[in-house]
Chain A
Amino acid sequence: MTKTLKLRFNRKQLCIPYAAFLILFVICPLLVIIYYAFTNGTGQFTFDNLVNFFSNTNTLGTLLNSIAIACVTTIVCLVIAYPVAYILARSKFRRKYVLLMLFVLPMWINFTLRITALKEILSFIEGNLAMYPFLNTVIGMTYDFLPFMILPLYTALSKLDKSLFEAAEDLGASSFTVFMRVVLPLSVPGIISGVTMVLLPSMTNYVVLDMLYNSTYIMGSLIGSYFAAYDWNNGSMISLILLIIIFIITLATNKFNDDQSSGRTVL
């Protein structure tokens, strides 16, 4: 028993744990969803679920509502986060990591707790929360997702080479032109990953909605309600539709990103 056990892995084999995870928790459930989406209660193949979704004005309205909430949240996040990230990235302030930390700090606390706190603050300001469901939802989601917008933007902006700005200024560009023609184009990868990270989850996040007393479903809660009513087939179909929509959005942003820098910022 002198010989030690020889572990001989090549690099491909290092992927096995992830591949197993992927198959077990992503591919298999996806196949199950597809199976349920195209069958009815008795297990026969059908397109009824698809027709149900697109022929019901209520579910279509919900889709629109989700998209609206997600878009507004993303725009608000972007408007708030860009200047912050820009200032943080450009500042010579030596303790800027402390500032950055302050923005990211809320992420360390469970978001349902944060929303519970926000609920109290909002009802203190507004009086009756239920009066402004859309506004509350957007505020709640912004509160939730803002760090996801700031971080990629900050990473993208702080990576920019300062000599590029200096070169532009030397060539006579005003600071506005420098921003529009140098900084903004170079930060697009950051914007895109920020937008993706906010837009997609905010389309399905229903906890915020529930907790802020918005009684109108969005896609996440709609799917949940079908599953709760043991209608797995319609629920799966809506999940699938949502998945396809998200896939298209991701595809579009990636395509758009292709002609930008190859080094997409990673959070």
Chain B
Amino acid sequence: MKMKKIAAVAAACVFALPVFAAAGCTTADETVVLRVSNWEEYIDLGEWGEDELIEFEDGTTIFGENSVIDDFTEWFNSQDYGFKVRVEYSTFGTNEDLYNQLNLGDVYDLVCPSDYMIMKLLDEDEDAILPFSEEFMDKSNPENYYINGVSKYIDGAEGSIFYEHGWNGIAACYMWGTTGLVYNPDRVDDEANDVSSWDMLTNTDYYKSVTIKDNVRDAYFTALSILYEDELNAINADDSMTEDDKAAARSELLNATDEETVAAAEDILKDIKENVYSFETDSGKTDMVTGKVIGNLQWSGDAVYILDQADEEDTELWYSVPQSNTNLWFDGWVMLKDGINGNRNRQIAAEAFVNFLSRPDIAVRNMYYIGYTSSIAAEEVFNYFDWCYGVVPEDEGEDLEIYVYDVSYFFGEDSYIYLDMSTLNVEGATRTYVYENVADYTVYEGGTIYKGRQAFGQYPTADVISRSVVMLDFGDDLANINQMWINVRCLDINDIPVTTVVIVAVIIVAAVAAILLYRFRYYIFYRKEPRTTASR
């Protein structure tokens, strides 16, 4: 008995020890656990093949040996922060999954939802998100890679998208892009018209050979784009309006959530449902590459990925941004107050993680690995863009048409790369000069581009951006729109053809009749009582 008691006390001491240690806090060996939740397949996990080394002209090399998360832990722990960090990395499949997880009580310190989900979190609880600290936003520290590296177009400066929406300091943009249509030019009848409009999804020429995302927001946006196509084109063509007025008018149209608009969208989506091959969550990529479908509504990052995949299979696919408008979206890192919980060290670790992801070489690694476009506009990222798609002027022996692809809006003035003209579909380009010394080059610039290959998907032109709309949170109308979406996906009893009803009714009646006949067979056929079955 006594032995037991001593053992129990000893055990209690052993178990209590780590508790005391944790309570002691400020020891140099303290380890902060950083709980990060990110999209699936949205970070470089390393293990690149040897042939995948990225080498720029100036000799800089970038290679992903280990995962970015391991690299971060190793880097952080080698620094003089006074504490160690361990990253608990988890992933989510959709914004709604993340939202459900948070509501069910999962605690994260740093998460990466999309624009509208950040709005939703803020709407529901102003204090849900912890703003980034002044140290993080301090441009004078060169190690603040995010604030120094992020494109002026996206965040930081006055007039940037994040500034306009009040997200600066709240969220740190990770990846961004547009939505558009991936298509197979060989199988499109009228490339000039068919793929230049969201109508492709309702176009019966492509009956059961286009796919759309199984996602209410993308579907709703597409429906509104089709519904208001004429209005949007009128706005685009209206010279009397200023750019700001145009943007406001577009945003008003495409963020409408009133009941009439939702009802109209429901009708269009039902047409789309009738016409599409499927509502896909992930199968759209393979279906596009294997040729099961001709067109596919896609996010720009995945579009780049699909185009790359198809190239490996010797299928040439293109990416088109419809002429009327597109959806501009962002995924941003936000720190959650519940997770950080006033722990200064944890906040430092979270901010260091965002800065680490924004370090130009890491940004390039992530872009290479996942295909999406980073918010970072550092020189290395631009060099990477050029390394991927730029034509090298030493190619001798063939006539080349070159296009000066301008991405100054993103990377700052005079940022352009030379692209092979055959990878773009340019309307109204002007010929600037002919290069005759090395080989026969003709160089073009200007004009408008609606369709292109990977480069166009990675960084759209300023013109495409000017026609883009950020889709806001649905707010209180969310329930209505969700119900509309469910209605679209259901089978309306009024839409069931009469023949089907008759067939089903006949089957049911027959089945019931058979059962009843069998049950009462003794009375009907033999006119005598059944022998007692209990004897068996």
Is the pairing of A and B real? yes
In the complex, the chain B residue whose C-beta lies closest to that of A260 is: B533
Set of chain A residues within 8 Å of B94, measured between Cβ atoms: 228
In the complex, the chain A residue whose C-beta lies closest to that of B503 is: A68
Is B499 located at the chain interface by the 8 A CB criterion?
A: no
| Complex interface bits, B482-496 against A, C-beta within 8 A gives 1, otherwise 0 | 100111011111111
| Complex interface bits, B458-501 against A, C-beta within 8 A gives 1, otherwise 0 | 00000000000000000000010010011101111111100010
In the complex, the chain B residue whose C-beta lies closest to that of A230 is: B100
Known: A68-B504, A215-B273, A215-B276. A58 touches B492 (CB 8 A): yes
Known: A56-B487, A68-B504, A123-B292. A130 touches B278 (CB 8 A): yes
For the complex formed, measure the closest distance between the CB of A157 and the CB atoms of chain B, giving whole angstroms.
Answer: 17
Is A131 located at the chain interface by the 8 A CB criterion?
A: yes
Contact call B479/A231, Cβ cutoff below 8 A: yes
Contact call A216/B490, Cβ cutoff below 8 A: yes
Tell me the chain A residues, 53-97 only, with Cβ under 8 Å from chain B: 56-62, 64-65, 67-68, 71-72, 75
Q: How far is the CA of A168 from the CA of B208 in the complex (A)?
A: 57
Is A229 located at the chain interface by the 8 A CB criterion?
A: yes
| Complex interface bits, A45-56 against B, C-beta within 8 A gives 1, otherwise 0 | 000000000001
Contact of A259 among B208, B277, B278, B533 (CB under 8 A): B533
Set of chain B residues within 8 Å of A130, measured between Cβ atoms: 208, 276-278
The tally of residues in B whose CB lies under 8 Å from a CB in A reads: 37
Is A226 located at the chain interface by the 8 A CB criterion?
A: yes
Is B437 located at the chain interface by the 8 A CB criterion?
A: no
Chain A interface size, under 10 / 10 to 19 / 20 to 34 / 35 or more: 35 or more
For the complex formed, measure the closest distance between the CB of B209 and the CB atoms of chain A, giving whole angstroms.
Answer: 7
Is A222 located at the chain interface by the 8 A CB criterion?
A: yes
Set of chain B residues within 8 Å of A68, measured between Cβ atoms: 500, 504
Set of chain B residues within 8 Å of A72, measured between Cβ atoms: 507
Contact call B504/A64, Cβ cutoff below 8 A: yes
Set of chain B residues within 8 Å of A131, measured between Cβ atoms: 208
For the complex formed, measure the closest distance between the CB of B521 and the CB atoms of chain A, giving whole angstroms.
Answer: 8
Contact call A213/B278, Cβ cutoff below 8 A: yes
Is A128 located at the chain interface by the 8 A CB criterion?
A: yes
Q: Which of B99, B208, B216, B490 has the most CB of A within 10 A?
A: B490
Contact call A225/B486, Cβ cutoff below 8 A: yes
Contact call A62/B96, Cβ cutoff below 8 A: no
Set of chain A residues within 8 Å of B490, measured between Cβ atoms: 58-59, 61-62, 216-217, 222
Q: How far is the CA of A260 from the CA of B515 in the complex (A)?
A: 13
| Complex interface bits, B82-118 against A, C-beta within 8 A gives 1, otherwise 0 | 0000000000001010011001000000000000000
Tell me the chain B residues, 146-167 only, with Cβ under 8 Å from chain A: none
Is B279 located at the chain interface by the 8 A CB criterion?
A: yes
Is B508 located at the chain interface by the 8 A CB criterion?
A: yes
For the complex formed, measure the closest distance between the CB of B114 and the CB atoms of chain A, giving whole angstroms.
Answer: 16
Top 3 A-B residue pairs of the complex, sorted by shortest distance between their CB atoms: A61-B493, A58-B490, A213-B278
8 A-B pairs besides A58-B486, A65-B496 with CB distance below 8 A are A64-B491, A71-B507, A128-B277, A129-B292, A221-B489, A225-B489, A230-B99, A260-B533
25 A/B residue pairs, CB under 8 Å, sorted by A: A57-B493, A58-B490, A61-B492, A61-B494, A61-B495, A62-B491, A65-B496, A68-B500, A71-B508, A128-B292, A131-B208, A213-B278, A215-B279, A217-B490, A221-B489, A222-B489, A225-B486, A225-B489, A226-B486, A229-B486, A230-B99, A230-B100, A231-B482, A256-B519, A260-B533
